[in-house]
Structure 1
Amino acid sequence: MSETLSVTLPLTRWQGDRGTYRLVTVTGDAAETLAIHARLHRLEFGRSRGFGSVKVVARIGETEWKSSVFPQKHSSQWVLLISRKVIQRESLTDGHPVQVTLNLI
Structure 2
Amino acid sequence: MSETVTATLPLRRWQGEKATYHLVSFTGDEAEALTGHALMQRLELGRRRGFGSVKVTAAIGETVWKSSVFPQNKQSEWILLISKKVMKAEDLAPGDEISVSVTPL
What TM-score results when the alignment is normalised by the length of structure 1? 0.96
Question: 1:11-57 CA distances to partner (integer Å, 9 max, x unpaired)?
Answer: 00000011111000110000000001000000011001111011100
Change (3 A) 1:69 1:15: same
Distance 2:7 2:74 in 1: 22
Deviation of 1:2 after TM superposition, in Å, equals 1.5
Question: 1:68-90 CA distances to partner (integer Å, 9 max, x unpaired)?
Answer: 00001446111000000000000
Percentage of pairs with the same residue: 59
Aligned to 2:54: 54
Change (3 A) 1:56 1:8: same
| Paired residue secondary structure (2:91) | coil
Deviation of 1:101 after TM superposition, in Å, equals 1.0
Aligned to 1:101: 101
Distance 1:34 1:2 in 2: 10
Distance 1:55 1:27 in 2: 17
| Paired residue secondary structure (2:33) | helix
Over the aligned positions, Cα root-mean-square deviation in angstroms equals: 1.0
Q: Which runs of 5+ in 2 are unaligned?
A: none
| Paired residue secondary structure (2:4) | strand
How many residues get paired?
105
Distance 1:15 1:42 in 2: 31
The amino acid of 1:44's aligned partner reads E
Aligned to 1:36: 36
- Deviating above 2 A after TM superposition, structure 1's stretches of 4 or more consecutive aligned residues are none
Aligned to 2:9: 9
Q: Which runs of 5+ in 1 are unaligned?
A: none
Distance 2:78 2:18 in 1: 21
